[in-house]
């Protein structure tokens, strides 16, 4: 209830006035004086009110008008001892929901709304009859009581009550006057009304104006097919920030959208302005503009460039649609849009001019039209011009008549001479001369040569249908004379052909090279197989793996009908590369190597790389037949030294010669000479059983967080390094010893050094596991260890046995009735009956195991928590079934302080309260901004809770009464409480350890991060960050290592688990 609530302005609607008038009329008929005893006031309900706070105020009726509730009251009921009652404030009556629900409610014009009140959580009311209400008022209002007047509530509301009665008396007269005016108006204004209702602006005053609802949306991108109203409407409707009124107007079919901007079919987005006209709609009016980015759904190819006549001719078999498309796709750097349209299945090619490509080996200009109007993503047409050349030349289209040319001299009309005639006739078509050079060409003749050097007409039939690049048949006519062929006219430059490879330039190697070259004159090719020729060259073929121009001479010595000498130039390279060189790379960067073996020398040359080392040498050393050696001495001193490398290639097929290369090489072995040191000041770090190399290595590794050099830690893992100590470890508990480390000349290290340490022999390494030790438990003289990788180990009679691998980190181990129960951190529970099948699996993304324990009835309890949220499961395992324990709802728990059995009761303590799940009781801690940070069930049968603001509370577990027994006067974020002798210990997050008996002064302050506290008789052990402290050692650190994962007391000794998997036992 708020005394500052403002008085609502009273404006009762006509419907409520009418119903209230009817009620007041009935009351007045019974007794007019009753009206003066009634008061009309607003009502509000308070959820925290109960009926005792209503001060016996009971309204006769309640009604709601314009979301305000009003009540009709007996005036006398509002006062007590001539003073207004306290729940009437600022002319508003505050009532409880119970009283409100007992009142008579006048239903609204809409009954379904009148009888249910949701704003103030009021119940649904079914009102009694009006007769019952009047009877109730008569029976409860004493007309003999003097009138009560209180100005603060008598003004507006009572005046309205009186006004309602006056309105009722004048109602009939006003009604008659209104009817007369309406009848007169109907006759006079009928035509005007008709015109008004049928005009476009008939409802202008009620229509929504959209003229200001447009906007500029350049980041909205939409694809449309055209600029029709429907397409534009679809585009505008995709604007998420569009004004809701305009969006609704777009759904009206009478709203018209237009644009004066052109839709560009270029595949890009362009801003266009769209006009929305709602003038002809009934609900809306006005015109507005919307600007957004639009692109055409189809790309118009009309504006692309289709002129390719300036490019090289395109090769094509024939002018079919697909062949033309394939040829166009070979054009380099083709417009990406044209590339895309050429891949469309429905692309058409029309108006090919000329329609046929002549296969004469010449290029021809072809025109055609690409039609994209039937494709899905493109439209328009594009005129294309390009030169095409037939991929197969039809030799029948070539001129074959050379009778007017001078006769050609040949010795006979054998096959190769017929080709000679065609290639050497004056004016021969180049395509024909090239065609007859094809090895698959067929040439024949039925003509013969006339004797006595007479000119003869020779008809030669050329059939190219068996060749790859030609087709057709051609009859060639020419003049020939019988005589000797001078091959001096057959010189050829074939250096444009690919280089051929031969070992050298011996005659047989030159002939083999000529036969490998494409395009060699058939006559010369014929002569190469004859015995009466000489093939030689004056050119030098370097054995460097590179191509060189070689001029080869073909000299006719004794072959009938042939004479002269022809020179053919080709490109040749030797198949053998001579690597003979003397190279000095000592002025280049230093290479790394640890010996002078062949592989090391080769690796050193590769370190220099192709920018420094001759590429032939780098290629040669990859050949397994190449011999790589060095006669230089090798020195291990971390300094660069010159090394001469010999590379002998005489036994390889591809290379020849011997190369001598000088480089600088430096060993990358690590010198450990200066890596030793004295670490004996760390007296509680290293625990050894003896001075064997294995134990000494383990001891040195324990120094890794205390400054020992990483290079030395890496070196001692090399099994070839010698590690020893001459100090005798017997008969003492701690001693300074010297460890000698000799790396000799191992693969990665060299040198000698020593390390001085303080070795403790009062601790014994019990085991070394493969991963971190997470939990250590002992039952009946049997020790169990669980690791971070889920390995479960059991030690019995000094030997360890791996029982199972449960895959996930083990956080709890219990033994009950000779069975082992294990819980993983993720909430999976296993039993030794069958390690392969979990008893239960609560493993989800957030769940972890809070605790598991047995009660006095040997029932296993498992608490699964969801950190920061809830205790999501509390389960019991009975016989063979799991059942959910006790809770109807999850417990909110940002931290769980305790879960277990106390005095035969199952108790869970969170930072918000204590939950006795056996007795089904819940006790929340006092709030006041505090939360519980520590809990203890004391030996004195009391429970103790330490709160975050420093309050130490003592609880009676029987009735849960509590009282503060001490206040630390500081903020505490976490704490551990443990019973100690006849008192208890409190360890807070600021590192202070208190004994409750002397709570005003801490026993000791050790660090600022608490992990574990253990008590054994008088001894106290604390695990804090990287240290373990003991009261038996005057609180000096027992162990210094950031890798300690857990501690446990077994048979009075402290067992320590490490991240590296070590498990040590320390005795005192």
Tell me, yes or no, whether 125 lies in a domain: no
Whole-angstrom distance, CA of residue 248 vs CA of residue 246: 5
Query: How far is 850 from 915, CA to CA, in rounded Å?
Result: 15
Taking a C-beta distance cutoff of 8 angstroms, is the pair 984, 944 a contact? yes
Residue 4's pLDDT band (cuts 50, 70, 90): very low
The domain boundary, picked from 368, 391, 414, lies at 391
Q: What are phi and psi of 138, to 5 degrees?
A: -60, -40
Q: Could you give phi then psi for residue 25, rounded to 5 degrees?
A: -60, -45
User: In whole angstroms, what is the distance from residue 759 CA to residue 682 CA?
Assistant: 9
How far apart are alpha carbons 866 and 264 in whole angstroms?
A: 59
CB atoms within 10 A of CB 886: 15
Average pLDDT over residues 840-869: 78
- Consecutive H or E run containing 1050: strand 1044-1050
Helix ranges, 555-678 (H): 598-608, 615-620
Please give the average per-residue pLDDT across 131-159, as a whole number: 59
Q: Please tell me which residue, 872 or 1015, carries the higher pLDDT value.
A: 1015
Query: How many domains, in total, are found in the chain?
Result: 8
- The pLDDT assigned to 704 comes to 87
Specify the pLDDT at position 489.
Answer: 86
The half-sphere exposure of 128 on its side-chain side, counting CA atoms within 13 A, is 12
**52-96 pLDDT tens trace:** 788 888 888 888 887 788 888 888 888 887 788 888 888 888 888
| Percent above pLDDT 90 for the chain | 38
Output helix, strand, coil percentages for the chain, rounded to the nearest 5: 20, 40, 40
Question: How far is residue 392's CA from residue 634's CA, in Å, rounded to a whole number?
Answer: 68
**pLDDT at residue 105 tops 50:** yes
Q: Is residue 710 part of a domain?
A: yes
Note whether 658 and 648 are within 8 A (CB). Answer: yes
Domain co-membership, 473 together with 505 = no
Shared domain for 774 and 864, answered yes or no, is: yes
Residue 635: pLDDT above 90? no
Whether 980 is in a domain gets the answer no
Residues 785 and 863 in one domain: yes
Q: Which two tokens stand for residue 338?
A: 């044209």
pLDDT tens, position by position, 158-196: 555 555 555 555 565 677 777 877 776 776 666 555 555
Q: Is the pLDDT of residue 804 over 90?
A: yes
What is the mean predicted confidence (pLDDT) over 278-305?
90
pLDDT-above-70 percentage for the chain = 85
- Write out the DSSP string of 276-345: EE-TT-SSEE-EEEEEEEEEESSEEGGGS--B-TTSPPEEESS--HHHHHHHHTTSTT--HHHHHHHT-T
CATH number at residue 263: 2.60.40
Report whether 1006 contacts 1021 (CB < 8 A). Answer: no
Planar angle of CA 73, 75, 78, nearest 5 degrees: 85
| Mean pLDDT within 95-104 | 73
Q: What six digits make up the tokens of 102?
A: 């007992």
- Same-domain status, 566 and 612: no
State the pTM of this model: 0.38
Both 76 and 34 in a single domain?
yes
Q: Return the sign of the alpha-carbon dihedral for residues 743, 747, 750, 755.
A: negative
* Model confidence at 399: pLDDT above 50: yes
pLDDT at 348: 94
Specify whether 861 is located in the same domain as 771.
Answer: yes
Return the pLDDT at 147. Answer: 56
Distance CA 776, CA 766 (A): 12
Q: Is residue 631 part of a domain?
A: yes
Is residue 749 scored above 80 in pLDDT?
yes
Residue 966: band (very low, low, confident or very high) from pLDDT cuts 50, 70, 90:
very high
Q: How far is CA 29 from CA 23, 73, 167, in A?
A: 10, 19, 16
Radius of gyration over every alpha carbon of the chain, rounded to an integer in angstroms: 55
Last residue of a domain, one of 731, 761, 791: 761
Residues 382 and 302 sit within 8 Å (Cβ to Cβ): yes
Q: What pLDDT score does 534 carry?
A: 94
Contact in structure between 288 and 208 (CB atoms under 8 Å) = no
The reported pLDDT for the residue numbered 927 is 74
Same domain, 402 and 475: yes
H helix intervals, 611-705? 615-620, 693-701
pLDDT of residue 120: 36
Bridge partners of 677? 755
Residues 6+ apart with CB under 8 A from 465: 471, 472, 473
Q: Give me the DSSP letters along 475-522.
A: EEEEEEEES-EEGGGG-EE-TTSPPEEESS--HHHHHHHHHHSTT--H
Looking at the fold, whether 817 and 838 belong to one and the same domain comes out as: yes
Query: Do 259 and 344 share a structural domain?
Result: no
**Once rounded to an integer, what is the mean pLDDT over residues 576-601?**
89
Residues 458 and 445 in one domain: yes
What digits encode the pLDDT tens for the residues 992-1002?
A: 999 999 999 99
Among 734, 761, 788, residue at a domain's last position: 761
Please tell me what DSSP assigns to residue 122.
B
- Flag whether 367 is in a domain: yes
Question: Rounded to 5 degrees, what are φ and ψ at 843?
Answer: -75, 110
Is 330 found in the same domain as 291? no
Q: Which residues neighbour 829 within 8 Å (Cβ) at sequence distance 6 or greater?
A: 821, 822, 823, 838, 839, 840, 841, 842, 852, 862, 877
Cα→Cα distances 748→604, 676, 913, Å: 17, 17, 62
Question: 693 and 777: one domain?
Answer: no
Quick check: is 1050 in a domain?
Answer: no
Q: Specify the range with the lowest mean pLDDT, choosing from 95-104, 362-371, 878-887, 987-996.
A: 878-887
Average pLDDT over residues 812-830: 92
Query: Using one digit for the tens of pLDDT, what is the confidence trace for 293-342?
Result: 998 878 888 888 999 999 999 988 788 898 899 999 999 999 888 988 89
pLDDT, tens digit, for every residue of 685-714? Answer: 777 777 889 889 988 998 888 899 999 999
How does the average pLDDT of the chain come out, rounded? 83
Query: Can you tell me which residue has the tokens 């209180």?
Result: 150
CB atoms within 10 A of CB 881: 7
Q: What pLDDT shows up at residue 840?
A: 84
DSSP state of 543: S
Residue 146: per-residue pLDDT: 58
Instruction: Report whether pLDDT(802) > 70.
Output: yes
Quick count: other Cβ atoms within 10 Å of Cβ 671? 17
Mean pLDDT of 412-429: 90
Q: Is residue 775 part of a domain?
A: yes
CA dist., res. 832 & res. 503, Å (int): 78
Q: Which residues, listed in sequence order, are joined to residue 883 by a DSSP beta bridge?
A: 876
Structure tokens at 427: 């004016």
Region of poorest pLDDT, from 416-430, 435-449, 739-753, 838-852: 838-852
What's the pLDDT score for residue 830?
94
pLDDT category, 427, cuts 50, 70, 90? very high
DSSP single-letter state for residue 268: S
Quick one: pLDDT at residue 476? 96
Mean pLDDT of 934-938: 94
pLDDT higher at 944 or 1025: 944
Q: Could you tell me if residue 236 is inside a domain?
A: yes
Nearest-angstrom CA–CA distance, 853 and 812: 9
Q: Count helices and strands (H / E) in the chain.
A: 18, 80
Which domain covers residue 378, as residue numbers? Answer: 307-391
The better pLDDT of the pair 999, 891 is held by: 999
Return the pLDDT at 10: 57
Q: What is the pLDDT of residues 487-511, one digit of tens each?
A: 898 899 999 999 998 888 899 999 9
Q: Across residues 836-848, what is the average pLDDT?
A: 81
Confidence of residue 131 (pLDDT cuts 50, 70, 90): low
């Amino acid at each position: 209830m708020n005394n500052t609530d403002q008085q609502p302005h009273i404006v009762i609607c006509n419907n409520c006035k009418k119903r209230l008038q009817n009620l007041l009329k009935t009351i007045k008929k019974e007794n007019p004086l009753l009206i003066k005893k009634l008061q009309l006031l607003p009502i509000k309900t308070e959820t925290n009110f109960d009926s005792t706070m209503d001060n016996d105020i009971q309204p006769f009726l309640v009604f709601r008008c314009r979301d305000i509730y009003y009540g009709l009251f007996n005036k006398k009921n509002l006062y007590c001892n001539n003073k207004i009652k306290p729940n009437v404030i600022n002319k508003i009556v505050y009532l409880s929901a119970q009283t409100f629900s007992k009142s008579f409610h006048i239903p609204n014009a809409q009954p379904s709304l009148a009888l249910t009140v949701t704003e103030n959580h009021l119940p649904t009311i079914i009102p009694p009859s009006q007769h019952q209400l009047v009877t109730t008022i008569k029976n409860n209002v004493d007309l003999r009581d003097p009138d009560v007047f209180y100005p603060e509530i008598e003004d507006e509301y009572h005046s309205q009550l009186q006004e309602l009665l006056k309105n009722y008396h004048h109602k009939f007269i006003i009604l008659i006057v209104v009817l007369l005016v309406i009848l007169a108006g109907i006759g006079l204004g009928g035509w005007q009304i008709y015109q008004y209702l049928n005009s476009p602006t008939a409802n202008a005053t009620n229509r929504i104006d959209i003229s200001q609802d447009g906007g500029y949306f350049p980041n909205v991108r939409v694809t449309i097919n055209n600029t029709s109203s429907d397409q534009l409407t679809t585009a505008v409707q995709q604007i998420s920030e569009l004004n809701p009124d305009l969006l609704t107007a777009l759904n009206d079919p009478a709203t018209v959208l237009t644009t004066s901007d052109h839709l560009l079919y270029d595949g890009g987005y362009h801003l266009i302005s769209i006009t929305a006209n709602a003038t002809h709609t009934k609900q809306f009016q006005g015109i507005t503009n919307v600007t957004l980015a639009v692109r055409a759904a189809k790309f118009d190819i009309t504006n692309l460039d289709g002129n390719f006549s300036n490019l090289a001719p395109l090769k094509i078999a024939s002018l079919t649609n697909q062949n033309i498309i394939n040829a166009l796709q070979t054009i380099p750097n083709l417009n990406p849009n044209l590339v895309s349209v050429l891949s469309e299945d429905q692309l058409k090619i029309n108006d090919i001019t000329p329609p046929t490509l002549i296969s004469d080996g010449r290029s021809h200009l072809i025109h055609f039209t690409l039609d994209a109007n039937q494709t899905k993503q493109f439209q328009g047409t594009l005129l294309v011009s390009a030169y095409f050349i037939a991929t197969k030349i039809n030799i029948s289209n070539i001129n074959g008549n050379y009778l007017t040319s001078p006769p050609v001299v040949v010795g006979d009309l054998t096959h190769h001479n017929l080709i000679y005639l065609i290639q050497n006739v004056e004016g021969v078509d180049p395509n024909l001369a090239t065609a007859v050079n094809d090895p698959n060409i067929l040439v024949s003749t039925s003509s013969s040569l006339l004797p006595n050097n007479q000119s003869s007409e020779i008809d030669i039939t050329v059939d190219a249908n068996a060749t790859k690049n030609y087709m057709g048949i051609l009859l060639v006519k020419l003049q020939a004379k019988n005589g000797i062929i001078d091959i001096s006219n057959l010189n050829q430059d074939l250096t444009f052909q690919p280089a051929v490879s031969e070992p050298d330039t011996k005659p047989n190697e030159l002939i083999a090279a000529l036969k490998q070259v494409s395009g060699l004159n058939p006559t010369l090719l014929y002569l190469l197989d004859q015995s009466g020729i000489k093939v030689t060259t004056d050119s030098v073929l370097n054995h460097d793996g590179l191509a060189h121009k070689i001029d080869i001479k073909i000299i006719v010595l004794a072959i009938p009908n042939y004479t002269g000498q022809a020179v053919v130039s080709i490109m040749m390279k030797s198949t053998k590369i001579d690597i003979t060189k003397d190279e000095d790379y000592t002025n280049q960067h230093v290479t790394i190597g640890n010996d002078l073996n062949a592989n090391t020398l080769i690796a050193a040359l590769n370190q220099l790389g192709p920018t420094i080392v001759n590429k032939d040498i780098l290629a040669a050393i990859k050949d397994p037949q190449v011999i790589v050696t060095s006669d230089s001495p090798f020195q291990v001193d971390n300094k660069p030294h010159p090394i001469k490398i010999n590379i002998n290639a005489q036994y390889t097929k591809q290379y020849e010669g011997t190369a001598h290369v000088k480089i600088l090489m430096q060993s990358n072995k690590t010198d450990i000479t200066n890596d030793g040191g004295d670490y004996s000041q760390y007296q509680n770090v290293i625990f050894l059983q003896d001075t064997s190399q294995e134990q000494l290595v383990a001891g040195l590794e324990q120094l890794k967080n205390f400054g020992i050099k990483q290079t030395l830690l890496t070196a001692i893992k090399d099994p070839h390094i010698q590690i020893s100590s001459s100090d005798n470890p017997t008969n003492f508990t701690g001693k300074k010893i010297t460890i000698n480390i000799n790396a000799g000349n191992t693969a990665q290290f060299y040198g000698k050094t020593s390390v001085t340490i303080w070795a403790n022999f009062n601790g014994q390494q019990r085991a070394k596991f493969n991963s971190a030790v997470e939990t250590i438990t002992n039952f009946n003289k049997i020790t169990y260890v669980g690791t971070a990788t889920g390995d479960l180990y059991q030690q019995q009679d000094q030997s360890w046995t791996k029982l199972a691998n449960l895959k996930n980190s083990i956080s709890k181990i219990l033994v009950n009735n000779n069975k082992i129960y294990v819980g993983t951190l993720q909430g999976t529970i296993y039993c030794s009956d069958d390690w392969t099948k979990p008893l239960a699996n609560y493993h989800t993304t957030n769940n972890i195991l809070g605790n598991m324990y047995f009660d006095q009835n040997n029932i296993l309890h498992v608490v699964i928590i969801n950190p920061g949220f809830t205790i999501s499961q509390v389960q019991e395992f009975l016989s063979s079934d799991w059942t959910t324990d006790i809770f109807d709802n999850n417990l909110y728990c940002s931290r769980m302080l305790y879960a277990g059995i106390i005095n035969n009761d199952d108790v869970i303590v969170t930072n918000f309260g204590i939950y006795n799940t056996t007795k089904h009781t819940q006790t929340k801690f006092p709030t006041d901004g505090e939360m519980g940070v520590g809990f203890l069930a004391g030996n004195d049968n009391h429970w103790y809770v330490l709160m975050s603001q420093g309050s130490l509370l003592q609880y009676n577990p029987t009735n849960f009464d509590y009282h503060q027994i001490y206040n630390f006067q500081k903020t505490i974020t976490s704490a551990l409480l443990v019973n100690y002798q006849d008192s208890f210990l409190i360890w807070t997050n600021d590192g202070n350890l208190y004994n409750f008996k002397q709570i005003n002064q801490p026993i000791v302050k050790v660090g600022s991060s608490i992990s574990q506290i253990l008590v054994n008789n008088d001894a106290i052990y604390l695990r804090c960050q990287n240290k373990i402290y003991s009261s038996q050692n005057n609180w000096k650190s027992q162990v210094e290592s950031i890798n300690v994962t857990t501690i446990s007391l077994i048979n009075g000794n402290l067992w320590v688990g490490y991240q590296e998997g070590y498990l040590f036992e320390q005795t005192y």
